[in-house]
Amino acid sequence: MEKVFNLVFCMEHQYHYYFYIMVGGVNKHTLLPVSINLRVCICSCLQINHLVIGHNGIMSTPAVSCVIRKRKAVGGIILTASHNPGGPNGDFGIKYNISSGGPAPEGITNKIFEISKSLQEYHICPDLKVDLSKIGKQTFEVDTFKPFTVEIVDSVDDYAEMLRGIFDFAALKELLSGANHINVRLDAMHGVVGPYVKKIVCEELGSPANSAVNCIPQEDFGGHHPDPNLTYAADLVKTMKGGEYDFGAAFDGDGDRNMVLGKHGFFVNPSDSVAVIAANIKSIPYFQKTGVKGLARSMPTSGALDNVAKTLQMDLYETPTGWKFFGNLMDAGKLSLCGEESFGTGSDHIREKDGLWAVLAWLSILATRKQSVEEIMKDHWQKFGRNFFTRYDYEEVDSDAANKMMKDLEAAMFDPSFKGKKFSSGDKTYEVAIADNFAYTDPVDGSVSKNQGLRIIFSDGSRVIFRLSGTGSAGATIRLYIDSYEKDVQKIYQDPQAILAPLVDIALKLSQLHERTGRSGPTVIT
């Protein structure tokens, strides 16, 4: 079971050098030697002497990005129970964020890796003790870094202040606690976003205390997997189907991803979610002030955002999966709003995806339009058409088998005869127009990222995409994405799984995924 407690360290000198560390599965006293190791190994040349830690070691990933930017830090080290396999139990990941508050680009991480191979020694301070429950500054004598100050800060304050400058809190408070308020259900899934939901949504915006559940962060997430999707957030889905609540949302372990549901469990696909926010972006005061510079989505995400960009004449960027690609566009002033099909949505207010921001964006749209989630979504499909989309995840697949399947599939796709080939399932026939392994040239710095996913694009625009991820706690994860656009208003309300069944059948037969992996079906369907 993954563990995640987001613990933020900020090391500062006169030039404000900060390093933020989010740590899982440790207590407040055993952690500090780890922080000093990092300081000496990585940061000694910076003469850092100020360490800032979130109260009780809790801080969400979006809040980390917010604080890095507010304090003008040069970067941050994040230790988190991410899906990257590391540590003794495969539940520990290390991330580095740069001064913009976003994930470090490959050029920087590659340099860090090269330097790590030549390290000869490191020093620790095993006797350093800090009370993480006490807000304020504590000073220590640590070798050449004298004095060495450790500052415990409220984990929510800076982030909440930022959100007040983005949204109309008065309108949101009326929506959540006014005379004609809606009923909401927010599930923090025992991740770090719980205190943020309680303090911002309940205490400040007036939503009843019982509208937020599972808000106490726990190392084992209450024995559940904190992934905001229909499978792992099943309790929320069941509650929403009861009809008592008008709006529901779930968050992941570190607070950067979200799932949105409407009354009776109406599911908003993440690809549709970012498209709806884009189409209603002027409902958010922040964008009324800044304007909209551009939109972006990751390559596997459906083309729903493309339809909005085309209709509203906005620039649209298609990037590989990974928030760092969005960050580069934002830093260059090219991008305002972006999203990924993996339940990640965000904007240029920070350089990470932001689960609570996305939920407040949706609530802002509800407050402006005075409609339900389902009504807003259906109106959107009528105006822009609908991209039917699904993702099949095959988790913990044998790595050798997964790699061999992908290699053989790519070889078949790159055969000259593959383009123009027709595939049929039931009464549907699709002709291959494009077959490639997606590559991306960054329009900002010209860097090229290759091998980002196998794409089969058919002549009608439908897409079948295969990606192999090594970011599971065991083995590999094969992800199959299906995307097909429909404009016919007589068909846009149909079940996505029924509409996409022929394409799913073609993809599974073409790849021989089940036969090659020994699986009879996916672990998760989105």
Residues forming the active site: 82
**Beta-bridge partners for 344:** 340
363: left (phi over 0), alpha (psi -120 to 50) or beta: alpha
3-state class of 200 per DSSP?
helix
Residue with token string 């202040």: 161
455 DSSP β-pair partners: 436, 465
Q: Cα–Cα–Cα angle for 381, 386, 390, nearest 5°?
A: 130
- First-to-final CA distance of the chain: 22
What span, in angstroms and rounded, lies between the C-alpha atoms of 161 and 196?
12
The CA-atom distances, in angstroms, between 462 and each of 339, 420, 500 are 20, 14, 10
Helices 61-70/157-164 angle, 10° precision:
80
Question: For residue 131, how many C-alpha atoms fall within 13 Å in the half-sphere facing its CB?
Answer: 6
422-425 sheet: strands from edge to edge: 422-425, 428-437, 454-458, 463-469, 476-486, 386-397, 524-525
* Other CB atoms within 10 A of residue 117 CB: 6
Q: Which amino acid is at 481?
A: Y
- CB–CB of 175/182 below 8 Å? yes
Beta strands in 135-228 (DSSP E): 136-142, 145-153, 184-187, 212-213
Phi and psi torsions of 226, nearest 5° = -80, 65
- Cis peptide bond N-terminal to 147, omega within 30: yes
62, 353 in Cβ contact below 8 A? yes
Exposure b/e, 66-97, CB count within 10 A at least 16 = b: bbbbebebbbbbbbbbbbbbeeeeebbbbbbb
